Amino acid sequence: MDTIIELKDVTMKFRMTTQKVDSIKEYAIRKFKRQLQYVDFLALDGISFDVKKGEVVGLIGLNGSGKSTTLKLVSGILKPTSGSVTVKGNISPLIELGAGFDYDLTARENVYLNGSVLGFSHAEMDSKMEEIIEFSELHDFMDTAIKNFSSGMIARLAFSIATNIKPEILIVDEILGVGDFLFQQKCEARINDMMSGGTTVLIVSHFTDQIERLCDRAVWLEKGKIKMIGEAREVCAEYKKIKQ
Ligand SMILES: Nc1ncnc2c1ncn2[C@@H]1O[C@H](COP(=O)(O)OP(=O)(O)O)[C@@H](O)[C@H]1O
Ligand SMILES: [Mg+2]
């Protein structure tokens, strides 16, 4: 099978100041006087794995292990400090809840906005609008500014747009934990549909049962390194041992 995502020896360093600086003014003064000390924080430390076309791969690991950073590298939001990230296909990234939305705009306006961020014209989004509304179950709220939405409603809208544009690669970070139980089931069913249609899925969830249900393989990250990679059920079983 064709490789659609490939990470080769990827490191990601974040530069952080070590002292607490209370204001932008103080920051500027210290920077001017060269009094700021930086440390490089290695969020990802030599990660390599690949994903084949049509595979569903889960990323698991404790908070801060580098899961979101990995998804951002695959989505092209971040560039690696070293190593390479190769992606062959268009991506629909669901990474930060509400990224690609403007909270002052209505849900309908946000469909166009989010669509354009993903490279789709107004007319193209028009042709998808009906299905997006249908799946999100937000019929009565499409002309409401989304600042009035609950996080569950935002998640429904975001998931509905991201899956209705039929991407080759769907990336989902924790979002499936936001909505209510029924919507989660619906999202899982949708992901299963997309899998059968050949979409490649990369998913982060702290619910290991969800990873086991949905994924073929799982990657367990620990402090920026791959602790284990393999069949989802086996990796989740090992991961659950440390959580007890
Ligand atoms: N933009 C950033 N600047 C500095 N540190 C960051 C940044 N993004 C993430 N980190 C750090 O990198 C580590 C991994 O973060 P992340 O990938 O978000 O972990 P996870 O999603 O597994 O919880 C964390 O320690 C986090 O604080
Ligand atoms: Mg995260």
Structural domain span for residue 120: 54-243
Residue range 85-114, pLDDT digits in tens: 999 998 988 887 778 899 999 999 999 999
Report every protein residue that has its C-beta within 5 angstroms of ion ligand 2: 67-68
Torsions phi, psi of 189, nearest 5?
-65, -40
pLDDT of residue 21: 74
Structure confidence by residue, pLDDT tens digits, 121-179: 999 999 999 999 999 999 999 999 999 999 889 999 999 999 998 899 999 998 766 77
Tell me if 163 is assigned to some domain: yes
101-139: buried (b, 16+ CB within 10 Å) or exposed (e) per residue?
A: beeeebbbbbbbbbbeebebeeeebeebbeebbebbebe
What spacing in Å lies between the alpha carbon of 63 and ligand 1's midpoint?
A: 9
**Residue at 158 is within a domain:** yes
d(CA 75, CA 186): 24
For residue 211, tell me if it sits in a domain: yes
CB 128 within 8 A of CB 134: no
Helix (H), strand (E) at residue 68: helix 67-75
CA of 69 to the centre of ligand 1 (A): 6
- Cα–chain-centroid distance for residue 169? 11
- Domains held by the chain: number: 1
Residue 12 within any structural domain of the chain = no
> Which of these, 202, 207, 165, lies nearest to 185 by C-alpha position?
207
What's the CATH number where 68 sits? 3.40.50.300
Q: Which of 13, 38, 62, 68 to mutate to test the pocket of ligand 1 (most atoms within 8 A of CB)?
A: 68
Calculate ∠ Cα 85-40-5, nearest 5°.
10
Beta partners for 229? 219
